[in-house]
Amino acid sequence: MSEHNIPYSRRLFMRHGVALASMATTIPQFIQNSALGMVAQLAGNPGGAGLPQDRILVVVQLGGGNDGLNTVIPFGMNEYYNARPTIGIPAPSGTAKGQTGVALMLDQKRGLGLNPSLKGLKSLYDDGKLAVLQGVGYPNPNRSHFTSMDIWQTANTGAKGNGWIGRYFDNTCNGTPIQEGSISIGRTAPLALNGQVQKPISFESAELFRWLGKDLHKSLDDPYQQINRAGILPETTQTSQAAFLMRTALDAQLGSDRIRAAVGKPSLTTWPQSEIANQLRIVSALIRDGMPTRVYYVSQSGYDTHGGQLGSHGRALQQVGDALAAFQKELAAQHAEDRVVTMVFSEFGRRVKQNASGGTDHGTAAPMFVIGSKVKAGVHGDHSSLTDLDQGDLKFKQDFRGVYANILDEWLKAPSAKILGGTFSKSSIIKA
C-alpha cells in the first residue's frame, strides 16, 4: 500500500509521537509534504542516520548576566576580596561580618568554592554529575543584554543568523523538520531554537498549550470533529486544501493533548516551589512520557544585579540550584539520567569590582555548568586572572562556541564545524 492510501490515524501519530504539533501552520511546505510522509521518513531515518535518537539536551538560560565571581568563588585570590569588600563570599574556612554563609568547597587546591546558596549544585558535584567550566566568553565582548544574548544564541559574534540549535536540526535532518524537534518552556521561543526550516514549540504552561479547533468548529461534519470523534481523517487528495487543514488539525490536537496529559501526571519525586523548578518539572514529564524531542529550553530571570546583590542573587541561585538537583533526581527515578545532558549559561558575567550600590555592573566572562551522569565532572579550565583585566573585566579563557562544539560532536553526534561555521578549541566534557 502506498503512503497516499494509508489513512491518517490517531493511533499512528501517537505511536511515533508528535513534538512539532503547534508549529504546523508555520511551515506549510513541511505540512504539504504530508504528515504521514514525515513518519514514513522517520522510519527510514534518511537524514538522521547515525544520530543518537535517544539523547536529549536541556538548555538552562540565566537571564540578566549572572555574576560568575559570586557563583564560583575564587576564595584563594586576595584580589577578589579587595574588589568586593562588602559582597565577597567568605572562604569555606573563614567568616566575615555581615555575611551569613561561606563558600561551599569545590577545589581546595585551586581555591574555588560555590555560592552558599548553591547546595543543590554542590550535591550534583559531590555525586560526580557536575562539570564547572571556568572563564567562558568570546572575543570583543558586548555588554548589551540583547546583543550578547543574540551572540550566544546564534553562536556568531556578529549576532547575525539563525539559532545554533535550529541549525543543528537543519543540518542533521537534511533541512526537513521532523518530530524530534525542540520545545521551549516560556512565553516566547528563544532565537537559539530557530533555524532556517526548523521551528520550535513554545508554551508557558501545559494548560495554555491546547488545541482550540474543536471549540471553534461545532459541526459534526467538520473534519476537526471527525478527528475528535473517530481519531481518523477521511480519504482525501494529499495536496488539497482540505488535506492541509486536516493535517494541521491533527498535528495540533494530538500534540497538545499528549503534552497536557504527560504534564498532568504526578512526578516520581518531590520538587521545590519556583518558576524554574516548574519548567524543569514539565521537561521531566515530557521525557518520562517518551516524547522524541531532542532539545528542551528553559530560562530564569533575575540576574541583572546592579544593586543589593547579595540577597537577590542568592535567592536566584538557590532556586536554580535546587531545581537542577530535583530534575536530576527525577531523571534517575525515571531511569533516564543517562540520556540527558543539561547545559547552564548566561549572556555575560559581571565586573570584577562591586559598585557603590552593593551590586555589580555588566561584565564579560563567567562560568558555565554542564550536568549529567555522562558528564566528566570536576572543574575544567583555569580561573580568569583578577589582575590582568580588560578595562576592568575578566578576559575569557574558553570560547563558548567550543563548549557548543563539544556538546554537538560528543553528545548529539552532529557536525559542529558545519553547524557553527568554524572549528573552536574545546575540552572534553562528555564521557566516551
pLDDT higher at 279 or 217:
279
Average pLDDT of span 165-180: 71
The string of pLDDT tens digits covering residues 407-429 is 999 999 999 999 999 999 988 99
Task: Mean pLDDT check: name the lowest of 7-11, 70-74, 153-157, 368-372.
Answer: 7-11
Rounded mean pLDDT, 306-324 = 97
Q: Given this model, what pLDDT does residue 181 score?
A: 83
Helix 119-126 and helix 309-333: axis angle, to 10°? 40
Q: What is the pLDDT of residue 186?
A: 86
Place of cell 559542529: 416
Contact predicate 130/138, CB 8 Å: no
pLDDT confidence of residue 257: 76
Look at 213 and 294; give whichever has higher pLDDT. Answer: 294
Instruction: Let me know how many helices (H) and strands (E) the chain has, helices first.
Output: 14, 12
Residue type for 290, please? G
Neighbouring-strand partners of residue 60? 298, 344
Task: For cell 560528543, name the residue.
Answer: 410
What percent of the chain is modeled with pLDDT above 70? 73
Tell me the per-residue pLDDT of 31-80, one tens digit each, with 9 for 90 and over: 333 333 333 333 334 445 556 778 999 999 999 999 999 999 999 999 99
Give the dihedral sign, CA 283/287/289/294. Answer: positive
User: What's the average model confidence in pLDDT over 286-311?
Assistant: 95
- State the CB neighbour count (10 A cutoff) for residue 417: 12
Burial (CB count within 10 angstroms: exposed 0-12, middle 13-18, buried 19+), residue 160: exposed
Question: Which of 6 and 352 is assigned the larger pLDDT?
Answer: 352
Separation of alpha carbons 44 and 49, rounded Å? 9
Structural Rg of the chain based on CA atoms? 23
CA angle centred on 292, ends 289 and 296, rounded to 5°:
90
d(CA 40, CA 334): 29
99 pLDDT exceeds 60?
no
pLDDT at position 200 is 86
pLDDT: is 16 or 169 the higher one?
169
Name the percent of the chain lying above pLDDT 90.
64
Residue 112 pLDDT grade (very low, low, confident, very high; cuts 50, 70, 90): very high
In this structure, the strands spanning 340-346 and 366-371 are: antiparallel
Per-residue pLDDT for 231 more than 60?
Answer: no
Task: State the average pLDDT for the chain.
Answer: 82
Place of cell 540578566: 64
pLDDT band at 255 (very low <50, low <70, confident <90, very high): low
Helix (H) or strand (E) holding 11: helix 10-16
